[in-house]
Structure 1
Amino acid sequence: MTKKRYGMVIDLRRCFGCQTCVVGCIVWNSLPKGIKWNHVDTAGSKIEQQPTGTFPNVNMSFLPHLCNHCEDPACVNNCPTGAMHKREDGIVLVDQDKCVGCGYCTWSCPYGVPIKDPVKKVMSKCTLCVDRIEGGQVPFCVADCPGRARIFGDLNDPDSQASRLIANRKGRRLCPEKGTSPSVYYVGP
């Protein structure tokens, strides 16, 4: 039997920028003020919720970001203490007891994901809600997305909904040239 490799597909046609995933993540993980493990950018704009283009030809689309739980994570490869580590199922975590808060993980991550917890003074990041996964549930951002834009699954299972979406809708990864092989894919426009 093939081991599991968890990942996520984000359907950009279904994301309408509501920020429910961001708020839900903060609440579920009891994150301190100022810490976000995922965020939603307004594509093409430096200002949140501002359309691009010129009236009457305007467009507004969104690009959700979270830890990509890469197959070859730069954060793990460059962590001097071994605090950043990857589980057998592909989930990348921070052992906060080993972390010294040096920030090498953020500097080496092509997506700039790990963030320093201002209270604990160590790095933190999306865990794919490993506590929920181990309890047979999906990550909270997937469960609470009103547009059903996030699909979670085993990427090593060709019959999982996530794998089928990647295959059928030509799922793509952010920054493939960085060589980290993210486990978060995007489909849609």
Structure 2
Amino acid sequence: MFEKSALINAIASTNRGLIATETQKQSILAAIASLEDLNPTPRPLEARDRLNGDWRLLYTTSRGLLNLDRFPFLQLGQIYQCIRVNNNSVYNIAEIYGLPYLEGLVSVSAKFEPLSIRRVQVKFERSIIALTRVVGYKTPTEFIQQIESGKKFMAFDFAIKSNNQQGWLDITYIDDDLRIGRGNEGSVFVLTKI
């Protein structure tokens, strides 16, 4: 599909949006809109097999995520969103790199509730900020298994109890290996299945 290739090519040189110019951002948003018009899955929340799994972020306009790269001596690594439809859970994991032995991660766990055929309400429940060596982090899947088993980590590991820590996300495009979402703060997310 030409539109999908055009989008992938447009975002390839932007480091997930970190170094996108204003011209690139406008071009990418246009490519996203074109692809959304061709969504092969008009009822994405019913496509459980497509939605379920581990996704890697290719591009976003989310300042909250992109600002993780703004800390001195730290660099944003891969960002994952892992969806477990069997228990309506979503796990966001951002890998952080920098000085030797100080590699870390920022993780947020949430529950989602379908509100329509493509919109979910997301309620954040737990945040973990840790050095990867301390928590034994190797892969997102393994880390999520530890979270789901109820493991408490030697880290900054805390429950999120505020009702203000929620939002919604529309899934505007999903196929077997690409997903596009639009959030309540106006952010756009493009992810690929891993």
| TM-score, normalising length: structure 2 | 0.28
Greater RCO (Cα-Cα under 8 Å, separation 6 or more): 1
| TM-score, normalising length: structure 1 | 0.29
Decide which structure has greater helix share.
2
